[in-house]
Every structure is written in structure tokens, then in C-alpha cells.
Structure 1
Amino acid sequence: MSLRTVVAAAFRHLRKERLQKVEFIYYIAIDRKWMNKEEATLLLERAREEGLLLFQGGVYIPAFSPGEVEIPLGFKPSTSILRKEDPIERLVSSIAARAGTDQRAMYAEMNRIIHDHFDDRLLPEAAVMILARRYQVDTEGYREELMSSLIQKSAKKTA
């Protein structure tokens, strides 16, 4: 389940266009009992960092239309949505959305690039950039994160 679905659920079920921090946390932690208060606070911050929520005038406003998000019957998010996604995962998700396919197909295509065209000598970070260019997906917001990911991997190997 996506972070977007959780945020949309809060706004739709409370029937509000703006929520204070305490209202959001109350809904997630106490009303629905999906998470504890600390996790609900972290969820709120993650949603803001990812651009799903705007903080204006002391309240949170969704940066998307919650009414357009499908919330499955019996929806209950897992705490895995609190985990920050890897930049490769996010970029693959963007590429899949642009291509109109699922992420597994994009990972398969990425692996074909690595294996067939570069004889397993290409890192996934570079392969996903090639894939993004192929599908004309803007990579501006991902370059720095992918580079720091490569640097961290390199530092772990040498340590």
C-alpha cells in the first residue's frame, strides 16, 4: 500500500480539506489503530518530505486530490510504508508509470540492459538511468541520490 493511499484515507474519512497535525495523528493512531503515535508522526513527516502534503498556516493540505485515490475495502497499511524507498525503486516506479506497465517489467528490462548489453558490468544505478532516458523520464531529482548511493556502496566495499 502506498503512502498516498494512507494520506488520502485520512482526508477522505475525516471529510476535511485541511488537517492539523494532531488530527492526522489521532486518525492514524487512535481512530484506526493502524500505527502508534510515533509511527503516525513519522508517516506525516514522510508524506511532507515526499511532496504529498503541504504545510500552510499551521495545517496540512494534500498536494493531490484525495478523491481520486482508490482506497480498497478493509484497507490497513503496514509499517513498511515508513521505510524510505531506495532512489532506484522510486525511479523504477516513475518509469513504470510513464510506460504504463508494472514495476516488475521495468526491473526485468533493467536486468536485460545489465546482462545483455554490458555483460554484468553495469551497476543498477546506471542501468536505471539508461531506462529512464529510454522512456523519457526526468531524472533531475534522482541523480544526486543515486550518486550518494554509489558512494556509500563504494565506501562499504573498501571498508
Structure 2
Amino acid sequence: MTLQMTIAAPFRNMGRNRLKKSEIVFYLAIDRHWMNREQAEKVISMADAEGLIRKEGDYFSIPEEFSKIDIPLGYKPSSEIFEKKDPVESLAAAIAEKNGIEINAVISEMNALMEDEFDGNLLPEAAIVILAREYGVGFEEYLDELKKSIGKID
């Protein structure tokens, strides 16, 4: 949610639906002093890659639902917005949260499934989806990222 809040902030503060890249960078780096210019440009690139922002010619816009995000008074993004989140860990955390168990237990169960049931012939991405189904946790929102992470395997 932090990246969503960070990218929504300039639009909300300026009360506009469309902003130029330079206006977003100015807001993040110069007006708010949240980061330097390179980091502000990286935030825009990350938001674009995750589909949180759309480019329309020289302008960027955010989805309508982002304009309703509550940005707390005194909000300042942490450095964790620059960290790429592992989709396997994210889905494991969702399973753990929904079922009231520790994430380590979910990871252990995933590892046991990969080794015991499939003799090490199952990728973590597939194993976590199997566990999500067993625990009744929706995994559809994670599928694109899981597929991308599988594509990185040589």
C-alpha cells in the first residue's frame, strides 16, 4: 500500500487527475523532500510496472480508486517502497494471516509439499498456489507476479 499512497499523494495534493512526470518528481523530491530525483523517477517506473499509474502521452494518471486512498497527515514513504516483494512470500503471508498461523509454518508446509509430495520437482510458486487452494485463500491477484518469477528461471 505504501507505493500506492506515495504515487497517489501528488495527484491528491494537487487535486488533479493528470500530471506530467516532472510535476510528480517535483512533488516527491523537491516539494515534500521525501526522496531525491532519481528515487522519484524510480517510484514512477515501479508504479508504471505494477500498473498503479498510466501514461497517456506526456501525462500520467492513476486509477479512480486511488484518488480515494486516505493519506495520513504527516505521511512519508519509507525506503521499503524500493524493495521488490517476493510473490511467494506475499501469498504465504496472506495464507498465514487468513488462517491465524505463523508464516514460518506456511513456508515449512510449502517446503514439505515440494520435497515429500513431489520429490523436489515442484517450484515454490506452484507449491504456494496449492497451499492457497487448500487453505481457501484467493491467489488470483498474485498469479501475474508468480508467473513472472517463474520466467526468471534458466
The CA deviation at 1:143 is 4.1
2:139 alignment partner AA: V
The CA deviation at 1:108 is 4.8
| In 1: Cα distance, 2:108 partner to 2:84 partner | 26
| In 2: Cα distance, 1:103 partner to 1:4 partner | 26
On the 8 A contact 2:29/2:35 being kept in 1, the answer is: yes
Task: Return 25-34 or 54-63, whichever deviates more.
Answer: 54-63
Which residue of 110, 122, 125 corresponds with 1:114?
110
Is there any run of 5+ residues in structure 1 with no aligned partner, and where? 153-159
1:137 alignment partner AA: F
Q: Tell me: CA distance 1:92–1:58, structure 2 relative to 1, closer, same or farther (3 Å).
A: farther
Q: Tell me: CA distance 1:63–1:92, structure 2 relative to 1, closer, same or farther (3 Å).
A: farther
The CA deviation at 1:133 is 2.9
The size of the alignment, in residue pairs, is 147
RMSD: 3.2
The answer on 1:145 being equivalent to 2:148 is yes
Q: Tell me: CA distance 1:103–1:17, structure 2 relative to 1, closer, same or farther (3 Å).
A: farther
| In 2: Cα distance, 1:35 partner to 1:12 partner | 18
Which position in structure 2 is the counterpart of 1:65? 65
The CA deviation at 1:142 is 3.3
On the 8 A contact 1:48/1:54 being kept in 2, the answer is: yes
| In 2: Cα distance, 1:14 partner to 1:143 partner | 35
Q: Tell me: CA distance 1:130–1:78, structure 2 relative to 1, closer, same or farther (3 Å).
A: same
The CA deviation at 1:119 is 5.8
SS at match of 1:35: coil
1:60 alignment partner AA: F
Q: Tell me: CA distance 1:137–1:144, structure 2 relative to 1, closer, same or farther (3 Å).
A: closer
2:110 alignment partner AA: I
TM-score when scaled to structure 1?
Answer: 0.73
On the 8 A contact 1:17/1:62 being kept in 2, the answer is: yes
On the 8 A contact 1:18/1:59 being kept in 2, the answer is: yes
The CA deviation at 1:23 is 0.3
The CA deviation at 1:116 is 6.7
Which position in structure 1 is the counterpart of 2:129? 129
1:22 alignment partner AA: S
Which position in structure 2 is the counterpart of 1:41? 41
Identity across matched positions, percent = 34
Is there any run of 5+ residues in structure 2 with no aligned partner, and where? none
| In 2: Cα distance, 1:82 partner to 1:103 partner | 29
